[in-house]
Structure 1
């Protein structure tokens, strides 16, 4: 089992899953380097909000937020969020990603990551029928009041029944 998964299990016992998710990301070196911070996690983990402040650590040559910072701030959240929303009978992996820059990131940016209970139920039902599926989640980096989109990231996530995945890997 991976280090962060063990830490998450331990932290969840004492802090709850939402607080462990938030502080685990915010304190982990891999996420801190993105310069983003998780600012909100719902108790049911269906909604996560991040803030990517513009600062000297992420400014590029022309003074706007480096595109790599935009992508890396968004990259891990949908997959890790889904892993925690599903049970341990599932394998969840990032499969691919696309990023679309809409305008220069010249101010603090925000992103919301959302799953609904109905979406989770539909994922479980599809995987039960198909054994493995691909899910596309789209996230937008916006200004605080969500009136301007600066960047859009489409993540393709692979989800499979764990037993099916193990058997498939043997081939």
Structure 2
């Protein structure tokens, strides 16, 4: 007999409550990272990192670890919310390329289109699992690219078996 599916806590939270929870999460709170907005369909998330004395490095610019942390969970969570409980979603790898010193306030905007989500779902259904890369740019107040983070995401359909 099949086990009933577990209730995913993420499915129960509206975006506004999830945003507040993320802003109180110790790794974000301690780094000065703020989730500015989450769209109702969890397809767009905007994150802000203000330069503070506690997140500067020894040369007075943003600590790279805080910049990397501001990008950590969002693509995975957005996919979990949009694909549903039929799929396992994991961050498989990540890399950051620093392009210029991070000064002032930094911004990251994460998006998935309906077409991207359908493509991911289709690939995971066809091949049991789908591994792909998605990039997000970290921008400064002037809109300049300070860093690019490349996330490798793993999506597996729980109902199919591997070939």
CA separation in 1, counterparts of 2:122 and 2:30? 37
- The two structures have a TM-score, normalised by structure 2, of 0.89
Aligned length: 157
Listed as ranges, the matches of 1:74-153 within 5 Å are 74-146=71-143, 148-153=144-149
Q: Which residue of 2 aligns with 1:162?
A: 158
CA separation in 2, counterparts of 1:162 and 1:38? 30
2:59 to 35, 59, 62: 62
Unaligned runs of 5+ in 2: none
Cα shift at 1:145: 4.8
1:73 to 70, 74, 77: 70
2:42 to 36, 42, 45: 45
CA contact (8 A) 1:35 1:73 kept: no
**2:70 aligned counterpart, secondary structure:** helix
Give the stretch that moved more between structures: 28-37 or 104-113: 28-37
Deviations 1:101-152 (A, max 9, x none): 0001111100100000111111111111111011211011102352x00010
- The two structures have a TM-score, normalised by structure 1, of 0.85
CA contact (8 A) 2:51 2:104 kept: yes
Unaligned runs of 5+ in 1: none
Aligned-residue Cα RMSD (Å) equals 1.9
After the TM superposition, which parts of structure 1 deviate over 6 Å for at least 4 consecutive aligned residues? none
CA separation in 1, counterparts of 2:112 and 2:121? 13
CA separation in 1, counterparts of 2:24 and 2:119? 33
CA separation in 2, counterparts of 1:163 and 1:88? 10
